[in-house]
Amino acid sequence: MSDPYAHGHHESVLRSHEWRTIANSAAHLEPLLRPGLSVLDVGAGPGTITVELAERVAPGEVVGVDASAEVVAKAAALAAARGVTNLSFRVGDAYRLDAPENAFDVVHVHQVLHHLSRPIDALREFRRVVRPDGVVSVREVDYEGTFWYPHSAGLDEWLDVYCRMHRGLGGEPASGRRLKAWARAAGFADITATASQWLFTTPEDRAWWGGMWADRALQSAFAEHALTQGVTDQDGLQRISDAWREWAADEDGWLVMPHAEVLARS
């Protein structure tokens, strides 16, 4: 991997990534999907969105690429279990895709650019491999714009620690608000910019999202990077974990993560 990956692939991280679908993470692209399109999914992770993309565009061919061999194997196993045959996964790098120019109708990217130190270079690479009449679809979170209720000093601490740790690795936690500018800088002429959010407030969603972050705060690469960088200490991680459990248990609990999208054409 060319840049360090802030989250890693601990089970608590994959718990979040495996929840993702076209409906909750790629609705902006959905109206453009039709049978026969070829699709490249860059930074496909465990592949839950990729598998759905393959189902929508069959018999079009879909390729999922990720820098982590471990997560590529997981995604391939998911495709096999779902019986999806127009889909393959391989290890690859967003900056140097193993594909010729004009190879795909759609390049799909979900929550990857915020981990890259050179997001504009990656967008230029996506532009190289998409057909002249194709579309590059990118959706990026804006961590710094996350807001919640009720007030929680522990969640304030989480956001501060997360953003400092992520920037320490060369990523940009407030990518969403920059995405349109990055697409313009990469040379796309026709850009449709939209926004959407993830909302967690039902008891089930709070238990799942809050429980996941309570675990991630103590066990995932987030914890390791934050400790290594000296952004917080073990007591700080424990406060963050406890704050997530408290928020999840509160019936008034409500949290929104804003996301930006672009549909970019040459």
Ligand X SMILES: C[S@@+](CC[C@H](N)C(=O)[O-])C[C@H]1O[C@@H](n2cnc3c(N)ncnc32)[C@H](O)[C@@H]1O
Q: From CA 51, how far away is CA 37, in angstroms rounded? A: 14
Q: From CA 182, how far away is CA 204, in angstroms rounded? A: 36
Q: Is 221 in the site for ligand X (CB under 6 A)?
A: no
Measured from the CB of residue 67, what is the shortest distance to ligand X in angstroms?
4
Q: Is 88 in the site for ligand X (CB under 6 A)?
A: no
Q: By beta-carbon distance, which residue lies closest to ligand X?
A: 45
Residues 185-204 that bind ligand X (CB under 6 A): none
Q: Is 162 in the site for ligand X (CB under 6 A)?
A: no
Q: From CA 214, how far away is CA 114, in angstroms rounded? A: 22
Q: How many residues does the chain have?
A: 266
Of 96, 75, 72, whose CA–CA distance to 2 is shortest?
A: 96
**Part of the chain binding ligand X (CB under 6 A), chosen from 41-49, 164-172, 190-198, 199-207:** 41-49
Q: Is 68 in the site for ligand X (CB under 6 A)?
A: yes
**Part of the chain binding ligand X (CB under 6 A), chosen from 63-71, 187-195, 218-226, 256-264:** 63-71
Measured from the CB of residue 60, what is the shortest distance to ligand X in angstroms?
19
By CB atoms closer than 10 A (0-12, 13-18, 19+), residue 211 is: middle
Pick the closer one to ligand X by CB: 168 or 250. 168
Any bridge partners for residue 262, and if so which? 138, 193
Q: Is 2 in the site for ligand X (CB under 6 A)?
A: yes
Q: From CA 168, how far away is CA 20, in angstroms rounded? A: 27
**Part of the chain binding ligand X (CB under 6 A), chosen from 79-87, 92-100, 201-209, 250-258:** 92-100
**Part of the chain binding ligand X (CB under 6 A), chosen from 42-50, 128-136, 142-150, 189-197:** 42-50
Q: Is 180 in the site for ligand X (CB under 6 A)?
A: no
**Number of helices followed by number of strands (H, E) in the chain:** 10, 8
**Part of the chain binding ligand X (CB under 6 A), chosen from 44-52, 155-163, 187-195, 209-217:** 44-52
Q: Is 45 in the site for ligand X (CB under 6 A)?
A: yes
Q: Which residues are near ligand X by CB under 6 A?
A: 1-3, 5, 7, 17, 20, 25, 42-45, 49, 65-68, 71, 93-95, 110-112, 115-116
